[in-house]
Structure 1
Amino acid sequence: MKYNAHINVENCATVKSIKYLFKYVSKGHDCANIKLQRPVQEGAAAAQETFEWDEIKTHFDARYMSVPEATWKLFEFPSHDKSHAVIRLAVHLPNQRPVYFAEGKERQALERAVTKDTTLTAWFKLNSKTPDARQYLYHDIPQHFVFERSGTWKPRLQGEMS
Structure 2
Amino acid sequence: MSEGKCTKFYPKEFCEETTILENGFTQYARPNNGRTVTKNGVDVDNRFVVPHNVDLVVKFQAHINLEKVNYDGMHKYLFKYVTKGFDCSMVGIHSSSGSQSSSETINEIDNYLECLCVTPNDAAWRLQQFDILHTDPSVERLPVHLPFENNVIFTEDDDLEEVIEDPNSSTTKLTAWLEANRENPSARQLTYIEFPEHWTWHNQGKYWDGRHGSQRRIGCIAYVNPSQGEACYLRMLLHIVKGPRSFAEIRTISGHEYPTFRAACEALGLLGDDQEWSNALKDAAQWALPSQL
TM-score, with structure 1 as normaliser: 0.48
Question: Which is higher, the Rg of structure 1 or of structure 2?
Answer: 2
TM-score, with structure 2 as normaliser: 0.28
Which has the larger helix fraction? Answer: 2
